[in-house]
Amino acid sequence: MKNIQRQVIIAGNWKMHKTISQATALTEEIVAAVTNEKNLPEIVVFPPFTALSAVEKSIKKGPIKLGAQNLDWHDEGAFTGEISPLMLTDLNVQYVLIGHSERRQYFGENNTTTPLRIKAALSHGLKPILCVGELIDEREAGLTDAVVSRQVGAALGELTAEQFAQVVIAYEPVWAIGTGNHCAPAEANRVCTMIRKTVAALLARLEDSGNDLENLNANHLPILYGGSVKSSTITELMKEEHIDGALVGGASLKSEEFVSIIEAASDRVKRAAKAASTASR
């Protein structure tokens, strides 16, 4: 598993924060800090729907990508309050969060609706970041791996090999989100490794059914960690082999903090590039 160069991703989930003017100011600060920097990870910001258009204008010239926090799986129709994939691609959105634990806890998202959203995103060329993670009661009952692998299997179990190549997963233990209590890096890495094995098993099923899996295996899939990531904790997390980046909530709302997290991830990008060039010599 060494020397596999997976994409490193730092994603900022702004949740229900930032008016248009606040979102524009934050974006401009991040763009100013990262434009012209080398070895950047893939940087994605997820503003609320109302600020997507303004943020899209502010990131035009920089390396930052635009994401949305959710989508409906219909293209259009009588679904008051929902946002369709077509509306997102119209705004040059490239990524979308699916199955975030706050959607699961407060808005009825579940293992039946996540696959519908994943397929809708993929069929419109949007890259889904599937969020999975256990509740504290589930962890204490020893159910972490069962819950997380079920969430992964439900959301991704019906994808084709080609679609798999577009997917990102974020492991976000629910008890770590917004609490200041992040998961110990070694334990987060253990769960991310388990997720990778779950994906490998899904891909093996595809292979059995005759799909062409050339150039695709579970080792290429980026897996992020999320849950109280800060500039003071990112470096330790990024040392773990199976953690390929972070989905950052609270700490993505301040440019200085978010940029420090990006810089820490840049070190990992640099190390990986160096290792690859040494290996190829």
Q: Transcribe 49-82 into DSSP letters.
A: GGGHHHHHHHTTTSSEEEEES---SSSSSS-TT-
| Catalytic option among 100, 102, 134, 263 | 100
Candidate list 229, 243, 262, 265; residue touching ligand PGA; CB under 6 A? 229
Q: In sequence order, what are the residues at sequence separation of 6 or more whose Cβ sits closer than 8 angstroms to the Cβ of residue 121?
A: 71, 85, 96, 98, 127, 128
Candidate list 248, 262, 264, 269; residue touching ligand PGA; CB under 6 A? 248
Candidate list 247, 264, 265, 269; residue touching ligand PGA; CB under 6 A? 247
Determine if 250 is a binding residue for ligand PGA (CB under 6 A). yes
| Catalytic option among 109, 138, 172, 263 | 172
CB of 226 to ligand PGA, least distance (A): 4
- What amino acid occupies position 265? A
Compute CA distances 131 → 111, 115, 134, whole Å.
11, 12, 11
Determine if 172 is a binding residue for ligand PGA (CB under 6 A). yes
Burial class (CB in 10 A: 0-12, 13-18, 19+), 74: middle
CB of 1 to ligand PGA, least distance (A): 26
Residue 160 · residue 206 · CB < 8 Å: yes
Closest CB to ligand PGA among residues 99, 227: 227
- Could you give phi then psi for residue 248, rounded to 5 degrees? -110, 125
Candidate list 92, 178, 217, 267; residue touching ligand PGA; CB under 6 A? 178
| Closest listed residue to residue 216, CA positions, set 224, 206, 226 | 206
CB of 277 to ligand PGA, least distance (A): 33
CB of 127 to ligand PGA, least distance (A): 16
Determine if 249 is a binding residue for ligand PGA (CB under 6 A). yes
Q: Which stretch binds ligand PGA (CB under 6 A): 146-154, 204-212, 244-252, 261-269?
A: 244-252
Candidate list 59, 93, 98, 177; residue touching ligand PGA; CB under 6 A? 177
Closest CB to ligand PGA among residues 203, 250: 250
Determine if 228 is a binding residue for ligand PGA (CB under 6 A). yes
Closest CB to ligand PGA among residues 10, 229: 229
According to DSSP, the residues that pair with 276 across neighbouring strands are none
Compute the distance between CA of residue 179 and CA of residue 170 in angstroms, rounded to an integer: 17
- What amino acid occupies position 17? H
Q: Which tokens sit at 40?
A: 């950047």
172 is catalytic: yes
Chain positions contacting ligand PGA, by CB under 6 A: 13, 172, 177-178, 226-229, 247-251
Annotated active-site positions, please? Answer: 100, 172
